Amino acid sequence: MLAPISWRVPPRHYGPWELFASLLTEGLVSRGVDVTLFATGDSVTAARLSSVVPRSWSEDDDIDPKVAECLHIASVFERAGEFDLIHNGFDFLPLTYSGLVDTPVLTTIHGFSSPRIVPVYARYDDRTSYVSISDADRHPDLTYLATIHHGIDTDAFSLHADPGDHLLFYGRIHPDKGAAQAIALARRVGRPLILAGIVQDQAYFDQEVAPHLDDDRVRYLGPIGPDERDHLLGGAFALLHLIEFDEPFGLSVVEAMASGTPVIATRRGSMPELLDHGVTGFLVDGAEEAVAAVERVEGLDRSAIRAQAVRRFGKDRMVDEYLGAYERVVRAR
């Protein structure tokens, strides 16, 4: 299991790719699969851990990201002969080593940060098996083995007896994620808003978020660790996920659902695959529909929302599907 080294596995707060690697690795180990996790040295796992960097480059300025990443990736491929399969959860750079070893490589594509990275995936389309994380995120030039939606640890989330009347924004503070849209909507419907997540675009935060913070109606909590997540998500009236991009997957959407919290999301990217419109929340096009959706939230059954999340997005389902994919790849050799 080749994890990224932007953050520890599992991440302390933000780090969706590292969270995925952790949940899948621990799930596989619990099924008796012999897994070696390639991740930062301070990672925590029941698998065998192999590390060439002590800490994530996001958390240690002495580490050059490019240096650490190529040493990290090479350390997997130099041991390729020991493994039946390499699961690449890192992004595109490992693909360029895959032609030099015989071990099958399965790659989870976590999204295309830019159209300029597609040529690498296209170049290695014959060499590696691609798994998309939503049907919406499939690129027409690539061949896919399967779409496997992420699973989460639904036991870490719970139905809250007495949720508040506030709306919640939970995600990276970046134009893609729609923090400004959430602030505008909360103001319009007259509800308080809590924002949480890392600041990924400081200029956007300074211009679009900071001026609205008043410690009362609009509050920003900063990044939130795993221990606070259940309380944060479960305590909200609804999660606002008014994204401005075709998001490949939305972990926070599924996590909110696991807490029984309805989600109001822009009808873009993977959202129609994750949300059952009128059951777990509402898909909206634009501000008018979002306002109407807030009014309909109270008609939803929060226990039914959680039940749906457990059924569709539990980690065991994800582990099952990856095990099936691994078997297909290994047998096809």
In Å, what is the CA distance from 93 to each residue of 54, 171, 198, 249? 20, 26, 25, 21
Using CB under 8 A as the binding rule, whether residue 275 contacts its own copies is answered as no
The least CB distance from residue 53 to its own copies, in Å, is: 9
Kindly indicate which of the ranges 30-38, 64-72, 208-216, 257-265 contains the residues binding its own copies, using the contact rule CB under 8 A. Answer: 64-72
Out of 14, 17, 38, 77, the only residue in the binding site for its own copies (CB under 8 A) is 77
Distance CA 111, CA 2 (A): 16
Using CB under 8 A as the binding rule, whether residue 83 contacts its own copies is answered as no
The least CB distance from residue 60 to its own copies, in Å, is: 11
Using CB under 8 A as the binding rule, whether residue 331 contacts its own copies is answered as no
The least CB distance from residue 64 to its own copies, in Å, is: 4
Farthest CA pair distance, the chain: 60
Using CB under 8 A as the binding rule, whether residue 78 contacts its own copies is answered as yes
Out of 97, 170, 220, 326, the only residue in the binding site for its own copies (CB under 8 A) is 97
Using CB under 8 A as the binding rule, whether residue 100 contacts its own copies is answered as yes
Out of 46, 74, 210, 292, the only residue in the binding site for its own copies (CB under 8 A) is 74
Question: What is the dihedral angle through the alpha carbons of 227, 230, 232, 235, rounded to the nearest 10 degrees?
Answer: -150
Using CB under 8 A as the binding rule, whether residue 287 contacts its own copies is answered as no
The least CB distance from residue 58 to its own copies, in Å, is: 15
Using CB under 8 A as the binding rule, whether residue 159 contacts its own copies is answered as no
The least CB distance from residue 100 to its own copies, in Å, is: 4
Q: Do 253 and 150 form a contact (C-beta atoms < 8 A)?
A: no
Using CB under 8 A as the binding rule, whether residue 254 contacts its own copies is answered as no
Kindly indicate which of the ranges 118-126, 234-242, 266-274, 319-327 contains the residues binding its own copies, using the contact rule CB under 8 A. Answer: 118-126
Output the 3-class SS for the chain: CECCCCCCCCCCCCCHHHHHHHHHHHHHHHCCCCCEEECCCCCCCCCEEECCCCCCHHHCCCCCHHHHHHHHHHHHHCCHHHCCCEEECCCCCCHHHHCCCCCCEEEEECCCCCHHHHHHHHHCCCCEEEEECCHHHCCCCCCEEEECCCCECHHHCCCCCCCCCCEEEECCECHHHCHHHHHHHHHHHCCCEEEECCECCHHHHHHHHHHHCCCCCEEECCCCCHHHHHHHHHCCCEEEECCCCCCCCCHHHHHHHHCCCCEEEECCCCHHHHCCECCCEEEECHHHHHHHHHHHHHHCCHHHHHHHHHHHHEHHHHHHHHHHHHHHHHHHC
Using CB under 8 A as the binding rule, whether residue 282 contacts its own copies is answered as no
The nearer residue to its own copies, 70 or 156, going by C-beta atoms, is 70
Out of 31, 54, 59, 96, the only residue in the binding site for its own copies (CB under 8 A) is 96
Using CB under 8 A as the binding rule, whether residue 17 contacts its own copies is answered as no
Using CB under 8 A as the binding rule, whether residue 303 contacts its own copies is answered as no
Out of 82, 114, 332, 333, the only residue in the binding site for its own copies (CB under 8 A) is 114
Total length of the chain: 333
Question: What is the dihedral angle through the alpha carbons of 164, 162, 238, 315, rounded to the nearest 10 degrees?
Answer: 140
Out of 71, 287, 304, 330, the only residue in the binding site for its own copies (CB under 8 A) is 71
Using CB under 8 A as the binding rule, whether residue 59 contacts its own copies is answered as no
Out of 34, 59, 64, 327, the only residue in the binding site for its own copies (CB under 8 A) is 64
The least CB distance from residue 71 to its own copies, in Å, is: 6
The nearer residue to its own copies, 83 or 205, going by C-beta atoms, is 83
Positions touching its own copies (CB under 8 A) are 62-64, 66-67, 70-71, 73-74, 77-78, 92-93, 96-97, 99-101, 114, 116-117, 119-120, 123
